[in-house]
Structure 1
Amino acid sequence: MATNLGPLHTAGNAVPALDDEFDGLLDDLAGVHPGIDQILSGIRLLALDHHTTDKTQTLLATLAGSDSADVLTALAYLVGRLSAADTNPALRTLPLDRQKTAQQHGETAVYDLTDPELRQPAAEAAAAIDGI
């Protein structure tokens, strides 16, 4: 999925506005839960704030460029937690087969989302800033 990241250089080195696809995605996700709204506010802030090259490198690694200590990993574990009746009491009212199926899919999501290959491009983007 290619996105228009905006113009390379802007007047006065201003950070360009979000493109329609990114902005629309954030709008579409809003209102599900206050926690999601906080995450979306953080994403918007990160996308529109001025950063140094050092901070940019750190943010890339922190978002999705580390083997295990990044935001993507935290989100993966949240998916696993929400999909298991042991850690999400709301699911305990479901029939056991549905509880088990939800947990299995959650475990698969954790496995897939924590795959080091998924992080490689973000790690390489961070390294490219240093010329590595």
Structure 2
Amino acid sequence: MSGPFPSTEGNAVPNVDDTELGGTLADLADVHAGIDLIRDGIRLLAHDRHNLNTTQVLLAVLVGSPDGTDVLAAVGQLAERLANPDTNPALRFLPLDQQKEAAREGWLTAHNLNDPDLRASASRACAHLDH
């Protein structure tokens, strides 16, 4: 008996390889060991079998925390750190105006990724999973 996805049998979790997510993960390969670890984590989360509670928690922890304690916020904070010469010595050889602009854009990235509107739909998805 075939599941809701043609490539799966029964209640199997479908593979992400031939999906948009799989393509994105493939495109991110070999950039940095840290990115490879993130890719591995995303792949594990996508392929693991979750129950309703775990699914709800994962949505909140990834992108749906109302107070911004989620992976989306952490990525924004990392971008801010990487773009700031105070926390990334690789930028300190740049002219001061470029350093300031990079730091500003990094701050804006963190600020924008911490926008509650970005979390609203994931937060609503979590609420719909409550039973």
- The residue identity in structure 2 corresponding to 1:35 is G
- Give the structure 1 partner of residue 43 of structure 2: 44
What runs of 5+ residues in structure 2 fail to find an aligned partner? Answer: none
Give the structure-1-normalised TM-score.
0.90
5 Å matches for 1:1-132?
7=5, 10-18=8-16, 19-66=18-65, 67-130=67-130
Q: Does the residue aligned with 1:24 lie in a helix, a strand or coil?
A: helix
Q: Deviations over 1:52-93 (max 9, x none)?
A: 000000000000001221000111100000000000010001
Runs of 4+ in 1 over 2 A off after TM superposition: none
User: 1:12 offset after TM fit, Å?
Assistant: 2.6
> Counterparts of 1:107 and 1:69 in 2: how far apart (Å)?
17
> Counterparts of 1:22 and 1:65 in 2: how far apart (Å)?
19
> Counterparts of 2:5 and 2:112 in 1: how far apart (Å)?
33
- The residue identity in structure 1 corresponding to 2:5 is P
User: 1:24 offset after TM fit, Å?
Assistant: 1.0
Q: Does the residue aligned with 2:92 lie in a helix, a strand or coil?
A: helix
Identity of aligned residues (%): 54
Give the structure-2-normalised TM-score.
0.91
> Counterparts of 2:54 and 2:19 in 1: how far apart (Å)?
25
- The residue identity in structure 2 corresponding to 1:58 is V
Q: Which has the higher helix share?
A: 1
Q: Does the residue aligned with 1:11 lie in a helix, a strand or coil?
A: coil
> Counterparts of 1:57 and 1:20 in 2: how far apart (Å)?
22
> Counterparts of 1:108 and 1:20 in 2: how far apart (Å)?
31
What is the root-mean-square deviation of aligned Cα atoms in Å? 1.7
What runs of 5+ residues in structure 1 fail to find an aligned partner? Answer: 1-5
> Counterparts of 2:79 and 2:33 in 1: how far apart (Å)?
17
> Counterparts of 2:52 and 2:5 in 1: how far apart (Å)?
18
